[in-house]
Homo-oligomer: A and B are copies of this chain.
């Protein structure tokens, strides 16, 4: 096992000083051609690579960025992550990921651990518990300490920092408008609890589209499910049985796919009898049967922008206290679950 070699080793071996080695490897003009060649050859031979940790300590820059997301096994976050990773890599940054698992405590702990020198800044999406508790002191402290932060998707007005999100309200609005234009009268909404910012915004878009057409909101056409990822229980089945519905907007893919299956089982033809639009244009939308029309959130783009914002803040000299909020427009991907 050949140990990692350091400047010190090289210096000792070649009987020069450490600083000479350091300079020689940086091709400094100060060092004679001969010495440089000798040192560089030796370094190459022993595959010398500077120690990142030492450099980080010296520069007070780690070239790492911390990403905290609620869930990694979730297509949307994964997509954003890819955007972050790609952009970060081109700028020479590595990405440390922590998963909050939708837990406030984990979010705080992860942040504290990484904030002690491990990363130069954070990109994160709030856990649902954090949004529920409405407690953002950990974020505020971060900013107090001058550590840059970019929030994406699940953001909050309570914290001043850079943000990237999609216009969820407009996405829902346009989706519902499309359904109305297709002549649908009884448009249902399947959402989660409102403390999740995105679900709330999507609901608002739904309300707005209906109001514009002077359609009264029918509470019976709105189903709120507890968890984002599960469709256990038969609330949805009851819902479809009890209500006459001719179109559905779901705040995520899973609800939509699940809804379509129930509708099909109940004898509905999609899209003739009932149309479906989901959010999160992920893998399920593309491969479901029928394929699902859905509101694309441009996760990868979002990740790139977040990374770009963060790195800009990290690398800027004087810390100007000016923050941007970038709002992306969603795109409706039309597929078989609607009449196009």
Contacts and interface: CB of A to CB of B under 8 A. Distances in A.
Interface of A: 1-4, 47, 49-54, 56-57, 62, 64, 72-73, 75, 78-79, 81-82, 85-86, 89, 94-99, 112-118, 141, 144-146, 254, 257-258, 260-261, 264, 283-284, 287-289, 319
Specify how many copies of this chain sit in the oligomer.
2
A117 B72 contact: no
A73 B82 contact: yes
Contact of A57 (B57, B145, B289, B319): B57
A85 to B, nearest CB: 6
A246 to B, nearest CB: 21
Contact of A3 (B95, B117, B145): B145
| Residue from A57, A254, A319 having most chain B Cβ neighbours under 10 A | A57
A114 B289 CA distance: 43
A145 B4 contact: yes
Given A3-B145, A57-B57, A97 B85 contact: yes
The 9 residue pairs across chains A and B that have the minimum distance between CB atoms: A289-B289, A51-B117, A53-B117, A1-B146, A52-B117, A49-B116, A257-B287, A52-B116, A53-B56
Contact of A72 (B1, B82, B319): B82
A21 B200 CA distance: 50
Contacts of A95: 96-98
A50 to B, nearest CB: 7
Contacts of A64: 96, 118
